[in-house]
Amino acid sequence: MKPVITAFAASPDKGQGLARDMRVRWALEEVGQPYDVRLLSFKALKEPAHRALNPFGSIPTYEEGDLALFESGGIIHHIAEQHAGLLPKDAEARARAVTWMFAALNTIEPPIVELEQTRFFEEDKSWYHEHQAMVEGRVRDRLGCLSNRLGDADWLDGSFSAGDVLMVLVLRRLDGTGIVEEYQNLADYVARGEARPAYQRAFAAQAAVFTDANPGSDKVTRQ
Ligand code: GTB
């Protein structure tokens, strides 16, 4: 059954793959599963029909027959469980790959989101610069640990996995800050992820939503 995912009809990034539908698109492309996309306006996100799929009124969601999922991490875990290619068969290697999924979402992403959201919503506050310097310190602390662990490996734990899908896209949220570039092996790691054919197909598919007639939104979104 062809799953249906949701994405922004007019993403503020104007097709740069920063919104979280990109995670789901990339995972589906990696496993070779075709999918349909339902594009939603910001208004539609908060309507009952969408809240029935995602109580928080956000994208992405994933529908497959009677199954409806929200949370990009949960969706990617489901895809990886259903198809070969994103989680190793060996039980211990699989557990480590799942651990990297959590590390991307629970350890690396929170200070990055904090940095971004404060930039979007709090720039006029008196404490803004002090706060950002503190959070940048937290981001660098986490990236330093990640960089040390990655070393000169291609991927986080042996073969490419769902953990790498999430980690590469979480690091991409720092695009434009120059912080990832301070860690050459992390910059190379992100570039390796972006070079994968499945990533490129996913990126092209979400970028294709944006045309001259649909140039994206100037709205600043949460999370
Ligand atoms: N924890 C959830 C998950 O992982 O699925 C978070 C989902 C979430 O925050 N979705 C955002 C959303 O729908 C889109 S991804 N926000 C609208 C709302 O809640 O009203 C966050 C995002 C949006 C846009 C950009 N961008 O344009 O650069 C980057 C990231």
- Residues 106 and 52 occupy one common structural domain: no
Residue ranges making up the domain that contains 100: 91-196
Query: Model pTM greater than 0.85?
Result: yes
- Residues 100 and 8 occupy one common structural domain: no
Q: What is the pLDDT of residues 162-179, one digit of tens each?
A: 999 999 999 999 999 999
Omega prior to 88 cis, within 30 of 0? no
- Residues 148 and 217 occupy one common structural domain: no
Domain with residue 61: its CATH number is 3.40.30.10
Alpha carbon separation from 84 to 75, 87, 141, 150, 172 (Å, rounded): 15, 7, 34, 24, 25
- Residues 138 and 76 occupy one common structural domain: no
- Residues 40 and 111 occupy one common structural domain: no
- Residues 99 and 185 occupy one common structural domain: yes
- Residues 98 and 53 occupy one common structural domain: no
- Residues 96 and 186 occupy one common structural domain: yes
* Under 8 Å between Cβ of 42 and 95: no
Q: What is the pLDDT of residues 78-129, one digit of tens each?
A: 999 999 999 999 999 999 999 999 999 999 999 999 999 999 999 999 999 9
**Which residues form the pocket of ligand 1, taking CB atoms under 6 Å from any ligand atom?**
11-13, 18-20, 45, 57-60, 71-73, 221-223
- Residues 183 and 167 occupy one common structural domain: yes
| C-alpha 223 to ligand 1 mean position (Å) | 5
| C-alpha 71 to ligand 1 mean position (Å) | 10
Domain with residue 104: its CATH number is 1.20.1050.10
- Residues 43 and 98 occupy one common structural domain: no
| C-alpha 8 to ligand 1 mean position (Å) | 9
